[in-house]
Amino acid sequence: MKAWICVPLMALALAGCAGKTAYRDTCGSQLDAAWHELDLAKAEGFAGTVSYSKALSLLTAAKTQQQFEGFEGCSNKAEKARFYIRESRAGR
């Protein structure tokens, strides 16, 4: 293969990798914070609320997306879960 063809292909491949991992750190930090907040809500006795259940479902889905490198979806779900955890702790 000619060198002038390889260079653009390599650049395209590297750009694809960078785009795939753009949310990796956000996903991890959002998940860590959300699991910690969920534990606090459980300790405070809010584990039976609907909001708590929604948060737990979202965190489970976010973790699955993280494992399959769906970092943007993971980050979004973890952020939504944190909203429901706050709602749970507020008694809603």
Q: pTM, whole model, 2 decimals? A: 0.75
88 vs 64: CA distance, rounded Å = 23
CA atoms within 13 A on the CB side of 46: 22
Per residue in 16-72, pLDDT (tens digit) is 555 567 899 999 999 999 999 999 999 999 888 899 999 999 999 999 999 999 999
Per residue in 65-80, pLDDT (tens digit) is 999 999 999 999 999 9
Query: Is 7 a residue whose pLDDT tops 90?
Result: no
86 vs 49: CA distance, rounded Å = 11
Query: Is 9 a residue whose pLDDT tops 50?
Result: no
